[in-house]
Structure 1
Amino acid sequence: MKFRVSGRLPLLPHQARVSSSLNHQLQRRYFRFFFRKLYASAKASLKNGPNSSNSDGNSFLVPGATVATICMLGVLHARRLYDDKKVDAARAKGIELEFQPDVKASFLRVLPLRTISQILGSLASVELPVWLRPYVYKAWARAFHSNLEEVALPLEKYASLRDFFVRSLKEGSRPLDSDPLCLVSPVDGIVLRFGELKQAGAMIEQVKGFSYSVSSLLGASSLFPEVAENAKDDKKNEGNDFVDKSKKSWWRVTLASPRVWDPTPACPMKGVFYCVLYLRPGDYHRIHSPVDWNVLVRRHFSGCLYPLNERATRTIRNLYVENERVVLEGQWQEGFLALAAIGATNIGSIELFIEPELRTNRPRKKFLHSEPPDEHVYEPEGMGVMLRKGDEVAAFNLGSTIVLVFQAPVSRSAGDEALSEFRFSIKQGDKIRMGEALGRRHSMQQ
């Protein structure tokens, strides 16, 4: 048997120190080279002028912007790892974390989160050099577990981190559940809460130990209170009586007596349900229509921009009610439907594809939470905006939350008649993708 003798001797302590020093020198040289490359790119961009071509990848406006973006990715990743580790440890022990305000929640209230979000939004919108884009986006994907195989375009085509964040997917990446009686998830996310609202003053549980009002989430002018009060009423004249009694505006009349769908329901008894979905930073961030429906009104609440992560939900009261959000209300074949898109810290903006002129995350003129929302009625004399299941509705910038509130049939005793009932097909904590079923209507034989 032959033995190979290495010519290298084991490192002595002073040799180990020399090797460590050499590694530090190499690292410093690498970073000096990296920053020189950034500086050269910025200098060339300024020399060519603002109207120069961007094809060579040298239209880099501020060298520090890219560095700041990379640092932001590192901070977000470290924070996500910390939060996930804490939550996973609690769940492994079978513990559901309860609501408990802390010092950080009070500190967030005095921070200029809107200004911070606007600055970070500007940084994320800075055009990156072509050679750097794949490295930044791959680093993001590794940090937040994004699937780059689903991305519709080559990574070099996304000029900024913001463009990459609101990216579209390859065709067929999100197949829709074809069941016409099925309500699908409008986003990729995690199921936080879901259930049925039993009464007009119903509350949605934000976290164990604290809940918030649905009416405060959707707005004082929402139809929800009346819908909830009449959810168990199967009188045929319910819509006309309601209109004559309260003399509501045109769109409330439309909601009470819809002109789009007017079928004789298989089960006239309706319940009101809700579902809360959280989008992580690495998720696909476009919002799609969960069903075929008619959007009649939009409300924009210019609120705060608190974070919407696990810790924030456990420490900040009325988190979803106080944050900036866009609410869409309308009608689907089973009755009332509302979709609330809630913004969060960092970029904080919400793009509404059915109303491109809407601008969110703007400087607030008033600082009182009681200021009324900006409300827009779609085609007062027409049918509103018709959306098909799976149509793109909006897009988030960075992690956020969707809250769905909708009517659906519930079972009741009626002899031997075949009745229908809506049932959720999800569990709390499930990871769900856009197009997968949240729940569906089932036939029942009494």
Structure 2
Amino acid sequence: MVSYFVPRGRFLLKAGNLRQVIQQQQQQQTKHTAQQNGKWPVLRHFRQSSTKPNAVSHSKESPSQARQDMINNNNTLERAQPKPKQKQQKSDQNLLEVQRNAFWRWTGFLLRWAPMGICVFGAIEWQWHKRRCHHENTPRTASEFQSRVYCSLPLRIISRCWGWLAACYMPEPLRPYVYGWYSSTFNVNINEALYPDYGHYSSLAQFFTRPLKEGARTIDSQAPLVSPADGKVLHFGSAADTLIEQVKGVNYSIEDFLGPLQESAAAEKSSAVSYAQAIKQKRDGSTELFQCVIYLAPGDYHRFHSPTAWQPQVRRHFSGELLSVNPKVANWLPGLFCLNERVLYMGNWKYGFFSYTAVGATNVGSVEIYMDADLKTNRWTGLKMGAHPPSTYEYDELQLNTQEQEQLKFDKGELVGQFNMGSTIVLLFEAPKNFKFDIIAGQKIRVGDSLGHIVE
């Protein structure tokens, strides 16, 4: 019969002797316990007797001692029993705990199901508005409810955070990778920049507002009006008496965009003259109001120039929303340019009234005008959920070219300011009726290219 060896400490034991070894160890443990218990038998007896209740000792106690023990027992019982005030506090705590549990239960329910309900309601409202626009044969633009929901988004906070991030220092080893990715994504031509080396720009904001090389843009000297920026032509054409087209089929009010008439024009205006006729400087019927909207994409050159020689008279800063001015949003949201924050300069050129407007947008709250150091844009205006009253009543006005100030004027192609990201330039000007545009909607255009000419 094969015998197996079982390891045991430093020795090897046979499997048959394992039971005997275990029994010996148990006997040794029993003897050791007995020896410990036998060392102090009197002390052990005393300990056991002290822990048991001793009825005899109670009987031999004096009456005064028994009375004291009874008082102590009563005090112990009184302390053990809860008092009425403690009961009330305990019940209040229990009630508060129940209310807190109910609050968190309902909060969890709302957080779980409310977003789904809002999405369902939004989808129903979207489809209903779409069907109504189809039946009425009108452009499918945003309803009043959709406009308020869009304006309720925290776009100003997002824009301020983006501005802070763009101004942060970029480590030099990361610049070629970050700026290179941005250039390839948005088709940035870095070779025409004054500093084509990515390492020169210490932040994203510096890269966005990069200057161009001398001669990178040619100003058309023959054209009376040239493009003020690199971008895409969203819309152009003549302006009606009260409305002008934002894009094809989507209009906005001239008065909401420019604000109320100045005192001189308001004094001359009569009830029979429209707003568009009141702002014109020549009212003999030889001129007409025209407009041109140029959208600057994120990859475009972010500085803007003067389109002609003109002289500004007043500056108005409208502190509005910071909605996106992407062409898709411009097609969807009526009055977009009247809602957004914008800096408007009004003055005159050789053919009459002239206005130049830089419109802010999401992530483009900062609009900088080089000659206007007092201008501060993208200021904190508080949380206004869905509130966008007519911009006519919310603006700061500054009179320019007064007797105390130096005469301010711009030459054709002169540098005016910059955006921190892509945005929009809106030109609204008075020109002879035989003025013709040289551009088409959707065309890419650059600084200095001709916008139109006077037909002889």
TM-score range, shorter chain: 0.5 to 0.7
State the one-letter code of the partner of 1:363.
Answer: W
Rate the CA distance shift 1:284–1:215 in 2: closer, same or farther, 3 A. same
Question: TM-score of the superposition, structure 2-length normalised?
Answer: 0.62
Taking the TM superposition and a 5 Å limit, the aligned residue runs for 1:290-305 are: 290-305=307-322
1:419-444, Cα deviation, whole Å (9 max, x unpaired)? xx21110011111101100011221x
The correspondence for 1:321, drawn from 338, 349, 352, is 338
Alignment of 1:205 onto 2:218: no
The correspondence for 1:167, drawn from 195, 210, 222, is 210
1:291-346, Cα deviation, whole Å (9 max, x unpaired)? 01111111100000011112211332311100000001111111110011110001
Rate the CA distance shift 1:161–1:175 in 2: closer, same or farther, 3 A. same
Pick which of 306-315 and 317-326 moved more: 306-315
In structure 2, what is the Cα distance between the partners aligned to 1:226 and 1:275?
19
Taking the TM superposition and a 5 Å limit, the aligned residue runs for 1:264-413 are: 269-364=286-381, 367=384, 369-370=389-390, 371-381=393-403, 384-410=407-433
Does the CA-based 8 Å contact 2:228-2:305 persist in structure 1? yes
In structure 2, what is the Cα distance between the partners aligned to 1:140 and 1:299?
34
Equivalent residue, structure 2, for 1:29: none
Report the secondary structure of 1:132's partner residue.
Answer: helix
Alignment of 1:150 onto 2:150: no
Equivalent residue, structure 1, for 2:440: 427
Alignment of 1:109 onto 2:145: no
Report the secondary structure of 2:291's partner residue.
Answer: strand
- Quick check: which one's helix share is greater? 2
State the one-letter code of the partner of 1:328.
Answer: Y
Does the CA-based 8 Å contact 1:232-1:269 persist in structure 2? no
Overall identity of the aligned pairs, in %:
41
In structure 1, what is the Cα distance between the partners aligned to 2:213 and 2:140?
40
Offset, 1:347: 3.8
Offset, 1:227: 5.5
Alignment of 1:126 onto 2:168: yes
Does the CA-based 8 Å contact 2:277-2:283 persist in structure 1? no
In structure 2, what is the Cα distance between the partners aligned to 1:105 and 1:234?
37
In structure 2, what is the Cα distance between the partners aligned to 1:395 and 1:372?
23
Runs (5+) with no aligned partner, structure 2: 1-137, 267-273
Report the secondary structure of 1:346's partner residue.
Answer: coil
Report the secondary structure of 1:389's partner residue.
Answer: coil
Alignment of 1:436 onto 2:449: yes
1:245-265, Cα deviation, whole Å (9 max, x unpaired)? xxxxxxxxxxxxxxxxxxxxx
Offset, 1:270: 1.1
Rate the CA distance shift 1:187–1:122 in 2: closer, same or farther, 3 A. same
In structure 2, what is the Cα distance between the partners aligned to 1:273 and 1:207?
14
The correspondence for 2:225, drawn from 178, 183, 186, is 183
Offset, 1:232: 10
In structure 2, what is the Cα distance between the partners aligned to 1:373 and 1:233?
27
Equivalent residue, structure 1, for 2:237: 195
1:255-283, Cα deviation, whole Å (9 max, x unpaired)? xxxxxxxxxxxxx8111111111111101
Q: How many residues align?
A: 302
Question: TM-score of the superposition, structure 1-length normalised?
Answer: 0.63
In structure 2, what is the Cα distance between the partners aligned to 1:294 and 1:206?
25
Aligned-pair RMSD on alpha carbons?
2.4
1:180-217, Cα deviation, whole Å (9 max, x unpaired)? x5200101111111111243x2x122234421011211
Offset, 1:364: 1.2
Rate the CA distance shift 1:232–1:114 in 2: closer, same or farther, 3 A. closer
Rate the CA distance shift 1:234–1:211 in 2: closer, same or farther, 3 A. closer
Pick which of 127-136 and 371-380 moved more: 371-380
